[in-house]
Structure 1
């Protein structure tokens, strides 16, 4: 069997995290800038929230099902890199289909071609995600995962920063939609190649990974560290997806920005700058004091920012709150991968279990459909009630995540289970 080593780090954290940099750029520009803009062009103002929410939710179904299945297959084969290669290839094909549909814009028929392209993007990206997610717990010792997770969080923030700057430049220069999709494809592909070339599978210098029990799904969720990490990640993701898809509409409807695309890009820049400041520091701190204290501070900051955005008196104040939210978000992402990796119970099923853990982030995207409908309904009542409901719900989810993360046992420095019988 071809495997990767978990004994010592055999790859730089920057090389290992490069693919996540490209993925962060990809999703920020696609989900937060291009898709909201394209949906309005396809369906009009009156149904924009509903259709964007449905599109996001349909993609989330793919992301919900695929990672655990592909992760289990990757575990059985002992390979990670071939899955990443194939997934990136399909992802690029999907981007091409979306670009062609958006540039043609042939009414609702074009919209369904756009949806098909988005499904290909989701299929490809999630096909690669579970095998890729297994690399941190498999290659990095527990006592160094905070540092590696911090680098991953930092590169995620930098990728998002580059995405926001690109969106601003594209809007300012009025570049064709094909250019935006071509940039997404390029920035996804190059970092993916860096990771693929930098991670060695056996046949190089890698060592057999430690084996352990392959737990059933019931046993996996009976393992308390995994259960509570999964639950709290769901809550934080619910908070994020209650607001994130609708930021462009918030800028237009609440902050009264004439160029909502540009103002949203600037707001995202502020969030990302805050994230960069806290990302690398948070990961290193978590290796010393534990993951949970960082989560407490991060989640509270995000909840406060979501609530205060409802009463922001002006766009500059909203930008200051965006920086504050980013400080919390960066700290959270800096320990997110470390917390998830620490909670993996068995070395024999890292990819499957990380794929299931990834579901905790993806499944809440399904809430975008009802949240979009709630947004449209509330706004139809007047007074931007929809934004009050959606942002308030986001704050509630963040606070619940902070409260329940207390149930996660502190796992820093612990090794996965190795009992052959799979007992917990």
Structure 2
């Protein structure tokens, strides 16, 4: 067992979380708005679900491999900021390739160039993520992690809200996709600079002779195991539905401008999550992380099921608000719960990189869920959406049931087994 991190240079939670704000803007606008619309232009309506799901799964390969490897190297050097700097640069280069593919190319040729750009985006973003993720357990004492995690959750939601608003404005004005790619690059770079300039980067390599436990033994440490498992389940629920919301707006709700209505729905989710994120983090410092997760996961599961029977767009927006309250509460304790489960102070970045895999690996569900969506809809009556949303609710409920196995804090005297 390790104690709370030793005294370290203090950093504002707003500065520490700035990069996550930019990343949230980046992924919302790219994954939920641009990518479905761009893929539809490249491949046509009959294969849209399959190709969006496949592209999401392809990107997840990078997110599986890179964070643990880069995190381990970051632990050995004791540096975090240089990895952020290089990762953001590659990410922006990938955005440029994607924007060029949409602007200059068409058909399957354009699609495969688009895929290349997306892989660069995934590589760069995940290269930066593991060293960045290590900063909360490294710099923030256990008793303050809920507050810091809440700020991170709130800024994540604010970044997503700004992304949804930007998508609405770009769509309303009829601006080309390249404008959105430029916005994504700008809103990723500026907050990243705030974090890189504001966090301490005094090289603190692992102590001489200190060897982190083997990767495979991390899962013998029960707090880490159950945090990993439950995070996988919540992410599976999210990624079961998230890539297909724009199609849901068109096919189930009958919206004539699904991109715009999808942006409005996302804005409702995000505004509600901002309300609950900061409050949830502070509450978790007092009552523990698990009670917040119980309420959040149940709320998201119920909202996902009710979206299948809503009478119209207005009711769907109300349910989006309910889902957002649950989602914000979950994100408010997510980082704190993961940081509390870190087994060693010699491998924060590596272990947080593996923890991050629990969130990104479930992106693979986009492939089978996209195929399930297309198959179900081919049977008639939008059956595909019933199946996909039902599977998402089941994942949320299972996460709620299993999170009880996660201790709120590490018991004193407990060590990671060798």
Task: Choose from 355, 359, 362 the match for 1:361.
Answer: 359
Contact 2:79 2:202 in 1 (8 A): no
Q: Deviations over 1:322-353 (max 9, x none)?
A: 00000000000000000000000000000000
Between the aligned partners of 1:80 and 1:55, the Cα distance in structure 2 is: 29
Q: CA deviation at 1:209?
A: 8.2
Between the aligned partners of 1:134 and 1:332, the Cα distance in structure 2 is: 20
Q: How does 1:17-416 map to 2 (within 5 A)?
A: 17-202=17-202, 214-411=212-409
Contact 2:75 2:205 in 1 (8 A): no
Between the aligned partners of 2:372 and 2:287, the Cα distance in structure 1 is: 40
Pairs aligned (count):
413
Pair 416,181 (structure 1): closer, same or farther in 2 beyond 3 Å: farther
Q: Deviations over 1:266-308 (max 9, x none)?
A: 0000000110010000000000000000000000000000000
Q: Helix, strand or coil: the match of 1:17?
A: helix
Between the aligned partners of 1:304 and 1:8, the Cα distance in structure 2 is: 42
Q: CA deviation at 1:410?
A: 1.8
Contact 1:9 1:140 in 2 (8 A): no
Between the aligned partners of 2:412 and 2:63, the Cα distance in structure 1 is: 29
Contact 2:9 2:200 in 1 (8 A): no
Between the aligned partners of 1:6 and 1:27, the Cα distance in structure 2 is: 34
Q: Helix, strand or coil: the match of 2:408?
A: coil
Between the aligned partners of 2:115 and 2:143, the Cα distance in structure 1 is: 43
Between the aligned partners of 2:100 and 2:301, the Cα distance in structure 1 is: 39
Mind listing any 5+ residue stretches in structure 1 that lack a counterpart? none
Mind listing any 5+ residue stretches in structure 2 that lack a counterpart? none
Pair 43,264 (structure 1): closer, same or farther in 2 beyond 3 Å: same
Q: Deviations over 1:22-53 (max 9, x none)?
A: 00000000000000000000000000000000
Between the aligned partners of 1:173 and 1:291, the Cα distance in structure 2 is: 43
Q: Deviations over 1:86-144 (max 9, x none)?
A: 00000000000000001123211011000000000000000000000000000000000
RMSD: 1.6
Q: CA deviation at 1:6?
A: 4.5
